[in-house]
Amino acid sequence: MNTVYLFSPPAPVSVPVAGQDAVFPVRRIFCVGRNYAEHAREMGAHDQAAGLEPPFFFSKPADALVSGEGELAVSYPPQTANLHHEIELVAALGQGGAQIAADQALACVLAYGVGLDLTRRDVQARAKEKGHPWDMSKGFDQSAVCAPLRLAAECGHLTQGRIWLEINGQLRQDGDLAQMGWPVAQIIANLSTWVTLAAGDLIYTGTPAGVGALLRGDVLRAGVAGLPELHARII
């Protein structure tokens, strides 16, 4: 029997794929916190003499995504005076599962992309102070930006290479994927112990040091070695 909806369901959110007519349909957006030691320190974490802490995760709604070809327009959000940029490698899953073994995990990654995890840093600081949820600091409208993806079959699985971000021509973030505390395979394995992953899931894998504030009118250019660049403007 055909389901009759009270109103038309929203169209799926999608990301273009370089060199392909088909686009990547997005199911869910997961993000990893503090996955580069230098960024963890700039956010106030103490050095972990005992070693790396387990990864932690948060989510953004799929419809928080801004993607497409060319320069992406991103609206400066309400309820903040301190919108921060976080440049991140995005892993786009073509298959999923639960309790995925780390040595099987990269087989789930269909494509990679360059993404921005936009953050209302002032709202996040208040949430941390009060022990409140992070949702409104991380999962607001247009908070997840993603450049066109490249198929892993073309670029290989990314474990090292430059990750960088420029604002108005000035370099602000400059790191290397090899600095990730938890590489992509480990992130997928750990995340799949918490939720069942599936095709369409995007995973934002954390940001290197150098996060900072964005202003209306800022022009952003960002990249990860081997992937299509991200171009955006804050409006």
Beta pairing partners, 224: 163
Q: Which stretch binds Mn ion (CB under 5 A): 20-28, 82-90, 142-150, 213-221?
A: 82-90
Considering the complex, state which of residue 15 and residue 145 has its C-beta at the smaller distance from Mn ion. 145
For residue 32, the minimal CB distance to Mn ion (Å) is: 7
One symbol per residue from 114 to 153: x for binding Mn ion (CB under 5 A), - otherwise; what is it?
---x------------------------------------
Query: Minimal CA–CA distance to 154: which of 21, 25, 18, 26?
Result: 18
The correct pick among 24, 80, 86, 167 for binding Mn ion (CB under 5 A) is 86
- Is 89 among the residues that bind Mn ion (CB under 5 A)? no
Considering the complex, state which of residue 10 and residue 54 has its C-beta at the smaller distance from Mn ion. 54
The span from the first CA to the last CA of the chain, in angstroms, equals 45
Considering the complex, state which of residue 21 and residue 38 has its C-beta at the smaller distance from Mn ion. 38
Considering the complex, state which of residue 12 and residue 194 has its C-beta at the smaller distance from Mn ion. 194
For residue 36, the minimal CB distance to Mn ion (Å) is: 10
Q: Which stretch binds Mn ion (CB under 5 A): 108-116, 169-177, 200-208, 216-224?
A: 200-208
Binding site for Mn ion (CB under 5 A): 86, 117, 207
